[in-house]
Protein backbone atom coordinates (compact mmCIF):
# COMPACT_ATOMS: atom_id res chain seq x y z
CA UNK A 1 0.00 0.00 0.00
CA UNK A 2 1.36 3.43 -0.83
CA UNK A 3 1.63 6.22 1.72
CA UNK A 4 -1.11 8.75 1.09
CA UNK A 5 -1.47 12.40 1.98
CA UNK A 6 -4.69 13.19 3.79
CA UNK A 7 -6.44 16.47 4.55
CA UNK A 8 -8.87 17.90 7.09
CA UNK A 9 -11.63 16.88 4.67
CA UNK A 10 -10.78 13.19 4.33
CA UNK A 11 -8.82 12.35 7.52
CA UNK A 12 -11.72 10.66 9.32
CA UNK A 13 -12.71 8.67 6.25
CA UNK A 14 -9.10 7.51 5.70
CA UNK A 15 -8.49 6.49 9.33
CA UNK A 16 -11.80 4.98 10.48
CA UNK A 17 -11.02 1.39 9.48
CA UNK A 18 -8.18 -0.94 10.43
CA UNK A 19 -4.75 0.05 11.72
CA UNK A 20 -3.42 3.43 10.56
CA UNK A 21 -0.20 5.29 11.31
CA UNK A 22 -0.79 9.03 10.87
CA UNK A 23 2.35 11.13 10.44
CA UNK A 24 1.80 14.80 11.30
CA UNK A 25 4.60 16.71 9.57
CA UNK A 26 5.61 19.88 7.73
CA UNK A 27 7.92 20.44 4.73
CA UNK A 28 10.24 22.72 6.76
CA UNK A 29 10.72 20.20 9.61
CA UNK A 30 14.15 18.51 9.68
CA UNK A 31 13.19 15.42 11.75
CA UNK A 32 10.10 15.02 9.51
CA UNK A 33 12.38 14.73 6.48
CA UNK A 34 14.53 12.18 8.35
CA UNK A 35 11.55 9.98 9.20
CA UNK A 36 10.08 9.96 5.66
CA UNK A 37 12.36 7.15 4.33
CA UNK A 38 11.74 5.18 7.55
CA UNK A 39 8.00 5.36 6.87
CA UNK A 40 8.58 4.23 3.26
CA UNK A 41 10.47 1.15 4.52
CA UNK A 42 7.81 0.47 7.11
CA UNK A 43 5.15 0.67 4.42
CA UNK A 44 7.04 -1.92 2.35
CA UNK A 45 7.45 -4.23 5.36
CA UNK A 46 4.00 -3.84 6.93
CA UNK A 47 1.82 -2.43 4.13
CA UNK A 48 -0.57 -5.36 4.36
CA UNK A 49 -1.14 -4.79 8.09
CA UNK A 50 -1.07 -1.01 8.41
CA UNK A 51 -2.01 2.00 6.32
CA UNK A 52 0.31 5.01 6.57
CA UNK A 53 -1.02 8.51 6.00
CA UNK A 54 0.72 11.89 6.13
CA UNK A 55 -0.90 15.08 7.40
CA UNK A 56 0.79 18.40 6.55
CA UNK A 57 0.12 20.44 9.71
CA UNK A 58 0.48 23.78 7.90
CA UNK A 59 -2.30 22.92 5.45
CA UNK A 60 -4.49 20.89 7.84
CA UNK A 61 -4.52 22.81 11.10
CA UNK A 62 -8.01 21.63 12.03
CA UNK A 63 -6.96 17.96 12.22
CA UNK A 64 -3.66 18.79 13.95
CA UNK A 65 -5.58 20.86 16.52
CA UNK A 66 -8.19 18.16 17.06
CA UNK A 67 -5.45 15.73 18.13
CA UNK A 68 -3.45 18.31 20.11
CA UNK A 69 -0.37 18.04 17.91
CA UNK A 70 2.14 20.47 19.42
CA UNK A 71 5.44 19.24 18.02
CA UNK A 72 6.27 17.43 14.83
CA UNK A 73 6.74 14.80 13.72
CA UNK A 74 3.91 13.35 15.78
CA UNK A 75 2.88 9.83 14.85
CA UNK A 76 -0.54 8.61 15.94
CA UNK A 77 -1.50 4.95 15.87
CA UNK A 78 -5.20 4.81 15.04
CA UNK A 79 -7.24 1.62 15.20
CA UNK A 80 -10.75 1.69 13.76
CA UNK A 81 -10.93 5.46 14.18
CA UNK A 82 -9.62 5.60 17.77
CA UNK A 83 -6.14 6.83 18.75
CA UNK A 84 -4.51 3.92 20.60
CA UNK A 85 -0.88 5.08 20.74
CA UNK A 86 1.40 8.00 19.97
CA UNK A 87 5.06 8.78 19.34
CA UNK A 88 6.63 12.23 19.09
CA UNK A 89 9.89 13.03 17.33
CA UNK A 90 12.10 10.93 15.09
CA UNK A 91 11.68 7.19 15.68
CA UNK A 92 13.77 4.38 14.22
CA UNK A 93 11.94 1.80 12.09
CA UNK A 94 12.22 -0.90 14.76
CA UNK A 95 10.53 1.30 17.37
CA UNK A 96 7.68 2.15 15.00
CA UNK A 97 7.24 -1.50 13.99
CA UNK A 98 7.06 -2.48 17.66
CA UNK A 99 4.53 0.29 18.33
CA UNK A 100 2.33 -0.92 15.47
CA UNK A 101 2.67 -4.63 16.24
CA UNK A 102 1.27 -3.99 19.74
CA UNK A 103 -2.02 -3.06 18.08
CA UNK A 104 -2.02 -5.28 14.96
Residues involved in catalysis = 29, 32
3-state helix, strand, coil in the chain (%, to 5): 35, 30, 35
- What's the rounded Cα separation, in Å, for the pair 91 and 23? 11
Rg for the chain, CA atoms, rounded: 12
Residue 40, C-beta contacts closer than 8 angstroms, at least 6 positions apart: 3
Amino acid sequence: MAISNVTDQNFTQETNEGLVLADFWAPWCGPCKMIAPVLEELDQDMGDKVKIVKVDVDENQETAGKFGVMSIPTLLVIKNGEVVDKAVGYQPKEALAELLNKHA
